[in-house]
Amino acid sequence: MRRARIPGMRLTLVSVVLAILATATGCAGTLVDGYDAAYVESPPPDVEYYPRYAFHDGYVYEVRGRYYHEHHGRWAVYRSAPAEIRHARPYVRDDRGRAEHQR
């Protein structure tokens, strides 16, 4: 006895499985410099006074546990700290606005 084949059934099943996997793994992000991130309208106010790390084409600013980076004229927030800055010492600004390494 042969099984009845429904045209397009395999393609539909593959599409459903891929959609479930994409949702489960959180594939909605954007890659910025190879890291999962989301673009934002603007950084937090006075972002330049928060600890910052030298990174690729500028700095990554750590603001209340989030990591902001200006990338080609747009601001992005990384989902986690990029690997290059995880063990680096941040720069902070003193009272006069000068940057120095945090001790």
The residue extents of the domains of the chain are 29-101
Burial 28-46 (b: 16+ CB within 10 A, else e): eeeebeebebeeeeebeee
pTM, rounded to two decimals: 0.65
For residue 17, the model assigns a pLDDT of 46
Which segments of the chain does DSSP mark as H helices, in order? 9-25
pLDDT in tens, 75-96: 999 999 999 999 999 998 766 6
Q: Is the pLDDT of residue 60 over 90?
A: yes
Which segments of 26-90 does DSSP mark as H helices, in order? none
pLDDT in tens, 7-39: 555 555 555 544 444 444 444 579 999 999 999
For residue 101, the model assigns a pLDDT of 56
